[in-house]
Chain A
Amino acid sequence: MSVSVRIPTILRTYTGGQAEVPAEGATLAEVIASLEQNHPGIAARVLDDAGKLRRFVNVYVNDDDVRFEGGLDAATPDGAGVSIIPAVAGG
């Protein structure tokens, strides 16, 4: 499964400044592993020491917040758009 991942400004140092990068994987966990392969270091920014999504990171697959869709087990269909967004905005 090929997906497109939107990278927030604070992680673009890992992607050479690119705002959007391709990745592979049928689940979010696989997509993050794929990102890590191509952009070493990025996974540790998104996941905590226990390998879970950090509490101040929001991830969306298309328009769905993955916290409603099984977290790291959320399916990432072919062609999906994945967005990683800092959770501290708003309100």
Chain B
Amino acid sequence: MDANIQLMLYLVPTVVGLLLVLPLGRSIVTPFTERYTSLATERGRIFFGLILTCIAGAAVSFQTLWISSKISEAGGEFCSAGGVFSCDDVIGNTDYNVDPIFGLPWGGIGAVVFCILLYFAYSSFKEPNADWVSMHLKLGVLVTFSGFFVIALLVYYEIQMEKICQYCSTAHLANIAAFIGFFRLVRMNDSDTWNDS
């Protein structure tokens, strides 16, 4: 399967998740609220979008880890396009494809982080009135906010290489969407609207 078509498997859920965590998500899900009642509330909608985004973020991170492993295996090509969009050139660049402190692949870091975010979101969704929900949501905001510094570093690397990794950019978009989702849930949790039906 073409790498860019495969990317749609991750990009589409990420964009849908992003739209759902935004205030305009209400108009998108209106046709489905009768069948999926949890989408009828603002909280349910944001949680759904957040979980979708975290799953897509984890999946695309696993895919980038797989690509970097494949490239290191035989120097093969996965999505080298010879143009600006070339995830092979970015993920396969040994100068930039691991974090500068521990030397861990960025894809692996992304997979771990998105799984942690998924845990925060999913556990809070399952038991929204538990004592620890506020802490989970705030930790979600903290982790996704920290992700902005990593995104800035990776975008800087891409500028250095004059290449854009479309898989990495999808993971970056998922982090932005997750930040918006966690942030909105924290604000809602602090207000009286948390249990509005």
Judge: A and B partners, yes or no: no
Listed in ascending order, the chain A residues whose CB lies under 8 Å from chain B are none
